[in-house]
Amino acid sequence: MGKTALVTGASSGLGAEYARQLAIRGFDLILVARDRDQLEHRAADLRSRFGVAVEVLAADLLKPRQREKVERRIAADERPVDILVNNAGFGLPLDFARNDIEDEVRHLELHVEVPMRLTHAALGPMLRRGRGRIINVASVAAFMPRSTYGACKRWLVEFSRWANAQYGPRGVTVTAVCPGFTHTSFHERMGLAPGQEGISDFLWLEASTVVADSLRDAARGKGVSIPSLKYQVLTRLVRVLPASVSARLGQRGR
């Protein structure tokens, strides 16, 4: 029986790239996102190109009944999930005081509560089988003051580090992936054209590189994966800077 991976936010961006690279590795897939038409289109492409089975699970993870449907699929013993990729997310402007508080609450739920719930659903079955990988897509923003986005991602990093230490010896690894600025549709959906971020071309990464590096690190059992040497150096530097300086750096980009 082949192995199965479930990817949230799989219709575009890093989620779509995770699905592609896992399909190349021979994993059957369960694709989760809100837009069923986009998922069906992506599923058909993956089936035809890589000959893997692809299940579509359209769900808005901020709606409890729809999220619970995903939790049940993760916990199922039939065609069990071997790799869970918690990738779904969205961005907000960095001005917390001006943001709508309900948008901020939804942002917190999707970046913290949802991956926590899905990780919990996966852990029980994975621990019983003695194997499994959970990948939580965080951000280098976790290492610098960056409004509520950085705070959410910091939670995800610390939770993943702890869970990896706790459950890794029992065969289940948990890896927080911390990409820097990555070429995806994420920025376009926020209304920003290429070049509007104010970020040097040197700092931009390709989605294919981010995903390949993170899958390699997860396979090695790392609790935290920071794709690319330049961001590994940058995150070490930011940690020793005064908070006022790193906060100003964190205001760059969106």
pLDDT of residue 240: 58
Q: Which residues contact 102 (CB under 8 A, 6 or more apart)?
A: none
Half-sphere exposure of 3 (CA within 13 A, CB side): 15
Tokens of 187: 């920025």
pLDDT at position 33: 98
Q: Look at the chain and count its residues.
A: 254
Q: What is the pLDDT of residue 239?
A: 65
Superfamily of domain 4-250: NAD(P)-binding Rossmann-like Domain (3.40.50.720)
Sites in the chain below the pLDDT cut of 50 = 187-196, 245-246, 249-250, 252-254
Over residues 78-135, the pLDDT tens digits come to 999 999 999 999 999 989 999 999 999 999 999 999 999 999 999 999 999 999 999 9
Within 10 Å of residue 16's Cβ, how many Cβ atoms? 25
How far CA 41 is from CA of 8, 15, 20, in Å, comes to 16, 14, 13
The one-character DSSP state at 211 is H
Catalytically active residues, by annotation: 149
Query: Where do the domains of the chain lie?
Result: 4-250
Q: What pLDDT score was predicted for residue 229? A: 76
Long-range contacts from 164-169, C-beta under 8 angstroms, 24+ separation: 164/221, 164/222, 164/223, 165/223, 167/123, 167/127, 168/221, 168/223
Cα-flanking dihedrals φ and ψ of residue 161, to 5°? Answer: -60, -45
Cβ-count burial 129-153 (b if 16+ within 10 Å, e if not):
eeebbbbbbbbbbbbbbbbbbbbbb
